[in-house]
């Protein structure tokens, strides 16, 4: 079962459609039914997952994909996806109000955060001064208009592997613990590394994906893919069973479907 976290801040429909296309390509989808709103799964009269505005639980392709804020359902899922669009502090409050801000970091199956979902998995965000879940060892900053790039960062941009962490003598305090710290911007240095994360299996450096955001996760040891928009930033992160994409795989065409398919295959 694939669980999409429903906390009122998600690009649910587009994520659902992209997931179903990826499931089809994996030959895992059992049918082509559209969105189903049902009362079929109500243990002890309670809904399975979060109530829809009609008071009924919403289930997508019931055997495989469920939209839910139920911690028991999330714990039992094979994969969990945390989507999100909007403003970080508002999204973080919605997650906390659902009782999920402390719960999600305890999950042990593969978890994928998308856009705001990815940012909420960081330590903090400058957007609304949000204190986030702290899964990834980095913070979320606003793009600086002084860098000369348009804000928001909207459109297609390429992915590159992060530079190795700079070596330093034992006991020396680094200027930054981020990959690529002290190097020239990604846009001006040669790139020859592979996108080595299993999330990017079959995808070379320079692959284009679709972004829409004004805030970005800074580079850190958890960075698995870098993009550039006035500054190098974490386009994707991974730590243990947690993965995150600042870009929108569900809007990134065949490349995005490959990324989702790779995630579903973990």
Per-residue pLDDT tens for 199-238?
999 999 999 999 999 999 999 999 999 999 999 999 999 9
* 98: annotated active-site residue: no
pLDDT at 22: 82
For residue 152, is the peptide bond before it cis, meaning its omega torsion is within 30 degrees of 0?
Answer: yes
- Is the per-residue pLDDT at 24 higher than 90? no
Candidates 64, 127, 218, 250; catalytic one: 250
pLDDT at 63: 56
- Is the per-residue pLDDT at 101 higher than 70? yes
* Block residue for tokens 């804020």: 69
Candidates 153, 213, 229, 248; catalytic one: 248
* 46: annotated active-site residue: no
- What proportion of the chain, given as a percentage, has pLDDT over 70? 74
Let me know if 22 is exposed, middle or buried by CB neighbors in 10 A (0-12, 13-18, 19+): buried
* 178: annotated active-site residue: no
At 165, the pLDDT band (50, 70, 90 cuts) reads low
Candidates 64, 98, 115, 220; catalytic one: 115
Fill in the DSSP letter of residue 128.
Answer: G
Return the number of other C-beta atoms located less than 10 Å from residue 42's C-beta. 12
Total structural domains within the chain: 1
242-266, pLDDT tens digit by residue? 999 999 999 999 999 999 999 999 9
pLDDT at 201: 94
Whole-number mean pLDDT of the chain? 81
- For residues 46-62, give the mean pLDDT: 37
CATH number for the domain that contains residue 140: 3.40.50.880
Which of 53-67, 86-100, 157-171, 189-203 has the lowest average pLDDT? 53-67
Q: Is the C-alpha dihedral spanning 157, 67, 261, 193 positive or negative? A: positive
**Distance, CA of 119 to CA of 226 (rounded, Å):** 15
- For residues 56-83, give the mean pLDDT: 80
- For residues 18-46, give the mean pLDDT: 50
Q: Is the C-alpha dihedral spanning 128, 209, 232, 123 positive or negative? A: positive
pLDDT at 26: 66
Q: Is 187 helix (H, G, I), strand (E, B) or coil?
A: helix
- Is the per-residue pLDDT at 96 higher than 60? yes
pTM over 0.85: no
Residue-range definition of the domain harbouring residue 178: 2-264
Task: Give the long-range contacts of residues 178-187, CB within 8 A, separation 24 or more.
Answer: 178/138, 178/218, 178/219, 178/220, 178/221, 178/223, 179/219, 179/220, 179/221, 179/223, 179/226, 180/219, 180/226, 180/232, 181/219, 185/228, 185/231, 185/232, 186/160, 186/226, 186/227, 186/228, 186/232, 187/228
At 177, the pLDDT band (50, 70, 90 cuts) reads very low
Joined together, the tokens standing for residue 190 give 């040669």
pLDDT at 46: 35
- Is the per-residue pLDDT at 239 higher than 70? yes
- Is the per-residue pLDDT at 183 higher than 70? no
Q: Is the C-alpha dihedral spanning 85, 87, 88, 89 positive or negative? A: negative
* Block residue for tokens 């309670």: 46
**Distance, CA of 87 to CA of 210 (rounded, Å):** 19
Q: Which element (helix H / strand E) includes 257?
A: helix 253-264
């Amino acid at each position: 079962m694939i669980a999409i976290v429903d906390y009122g801040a998600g690009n649910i429909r587009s994520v659902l459609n992209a997931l179903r296309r990826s499931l089809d390509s994996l030959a895992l989808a059992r049918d082509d039914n559209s969105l189903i709103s049902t009362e079929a799964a109500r243990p002890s009269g309670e809904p399975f997952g979060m109530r829809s505005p009609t008071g009924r639980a919403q289930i997508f392709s019931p055997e495989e994909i469920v939209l839910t804020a139920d911690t028991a359902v999330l714990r039992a899922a094979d994969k969990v996806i945390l989507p999100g669009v909007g403003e970080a502090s508002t999204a973080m409050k919605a997650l906390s109000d659902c009782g999920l801000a402390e719960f999600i970091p305890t999950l042990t199956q593969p978890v994928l955060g998308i856009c705001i979902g990815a940012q909420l998995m960081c330590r903090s965000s400058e957007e609304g001064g949000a204190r986030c879940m702290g899964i990834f060892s980095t913070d979320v900053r606003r793009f600086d208009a002084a860098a000369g790039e348009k804000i928001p960062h909207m459109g297609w941009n390429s992915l590159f592997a992060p530079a190795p962490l700079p070596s330093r003598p034992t006991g020396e305090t680094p200027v930054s613990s981020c990959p690529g710290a002290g190097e020239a911007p990604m846009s001006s240095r040669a790139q020859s590394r592979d996108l080595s994360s299993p999330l990017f299996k079959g995808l070379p450096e320079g692959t284009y994906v679709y972004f829409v955001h004004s805030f970005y996760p800074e580079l850190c040891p958890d960075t698995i893919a870098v993009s550039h928009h006035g500054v190098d930033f974490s386009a994707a992160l991974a730590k243990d069973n947690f993965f995150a994409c600042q870009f929108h795989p569900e809007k990134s065409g065949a490349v995005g479907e490959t990324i989702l398919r790779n995630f579903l295959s973990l």
